[in-house]
Amino acid sequence: MGSDVFHSFVLIFSGAAIVASLALFGRQPLLVAYIVLGAILGPYGTGMIPDVDLISEISHIGIIFLLFLLGLDMQPQSLFSVLKKVTHVTLISSVVFAATGYAIAYLFGFTHLENLIIGAAMMFSSTIIGIKLLPTTILHHRHIGEMMVGMLLMQDFIAIFVLLVLLSGENGQIDIGQIGITLLALPLLVLACIGAVRYILLPLFTRFDRIGEYVFLLAIGWCLGVSAAAEYLGLSAEIGAFLAGITIATSPIAQYIALSLKPLRDFFLVMFFFSLGAQFNLGLLPEIIIPTLVLGGAMLIIKPL
């Protein structure tokens, strides 16, 4: 197992260095290069890395760190103001996107359940790809960037609710109690995080801020701990990571933590985008290429509106 993991890491990061160089010369986003590399080396490509399950699980940490750093760069007051502005727009646009996806899938003869899933998928944008594709200055220091982040976070909340509706019930029955518990979990987690930061984390940061290694470890432990708690409560680990970041965003050493974690975040994100590409089953392409192009074209036209 150890040898297989080492072999996979060699192929991933050596290959990523090569395709990243080509992408930069071609003025293409690096994440596209990582996805293409995954499709080439993965089980549906050359098969040089036949099993990407472990890599996919490890790479998920990169998403958690990315949302944690995003939270570190935002102020709580600014976030609440943005969420108030984007709530109605996000809800209305999500309904429009879902209806469009359902209608197009219906025209191509998919089943009712498949139509619902495709419609639900069209409601959302990738928070990870959206954040990675835009420069940091646009995301965190301009009004349009804050609005975009707010809409992506609202979509994450809607996605959790949709998944609860789809997965909570058995034999077509929806578990209202479970949905209610999950919706209550978010404010309870927020209060718990605020209390922990005020009475535990900030005093520790203040007392030992000169020991960089300790600050680094405490920040990672806080990020992963809140992420795990959010997942346990029925929320997503990503929302937990963002919450962990924004609750210490006002700390004097927030920017130091952000700078320290960025290389670690990038390391895991390379594996995330690689594993994403490795899951592409190119053998199914002839069957889905036309519906995919129509759906993609429709979303490219509708979403910017």
pLDDT in tens, 57-114: 888 888 899 889 888 877 777 777 777 777 888 888 888 888 898 999 989 888 887 8
The reported pLDDT for the residue numbered 305 is: 61
The reported pLDDT for the residue numbered 137 is: 47
The reported pLDDT for the residue numbered 145 is: 66
Two structure tokens written together for 196: 């922990």
Q: Within a 10 A sphere around the Cβ of 154, how many other Cβ atoms?
A: 20
DSSP 53-65: HHHHHHHHHHHHH
Residue whose C-alpha is closest to residue 224's, from 207, 195, 245 = 245
Query: What kind and span of H or E run contains 219?
Result: helix 212-232
282 versus 173: the higher-pLDDT residue is 282
Per residue in 21-71, pLDDT (tens digit) is: 999 999 888 888 999 999 999 888 888 988 888 888 888 888 899 889 888
Round to whole Å and give the CA distance between 210 and 68. Answer: 22
Query: What kind and span of H or E run contains 253?
Result: none
Per residue in 253-303, pLDDT (tens digit) is: 888 888 888 888 889 889 988 998 888 887 777 888 888 889 888 888 887
238 versus 304: the higher-pLDDT residue is 238
The reported pLDDT for the residue numbered 76 is: 73
User: Mean pLDDT over residues 149-170, rounded?
Assistant: 68
User: Mean pLDDT over residues 176-201, rounded?
Assistant: 85
What average pLDDT does the structure give for the chain?
Answer: 82
Round to whole Å and give the CA distance between 223 and 244. Answer: 5
Q: Is the four-CA dihedral 24, 129, 151, 237 of positive or negative sign? A: negative
Per-residue exposure over 115-133, b if at least 16 CB sit within 10 Å of its own CB, e if not? bbbbbbebbbbebbeebbe
CB-based contact 262:87 (threshold 8 Å): no
Domain ranges of the chain: 62-278
Two structure tokens written together for 14: 């050596």
Round to whole Å and give the CA distance between 17 and 25. Answer: 13
Pick the CATH number of 62-278 from 1.20.1530.20, 1.10.150.20, 1.10.1060.10, 1.10.3720.10: 1.20.1530.20
Residue whose C-alpha is closest to residue 210's, from 244, 252, 249, 247 = 252
Confidence band for 170, pLDDT divided at 50, 70 and 90: very low
Residue whose C-alpha is closest to residue 265's, from 224, 209, 229 = 224
Q: Answer whether residue 135 shows pLDDT above 60.
A: no
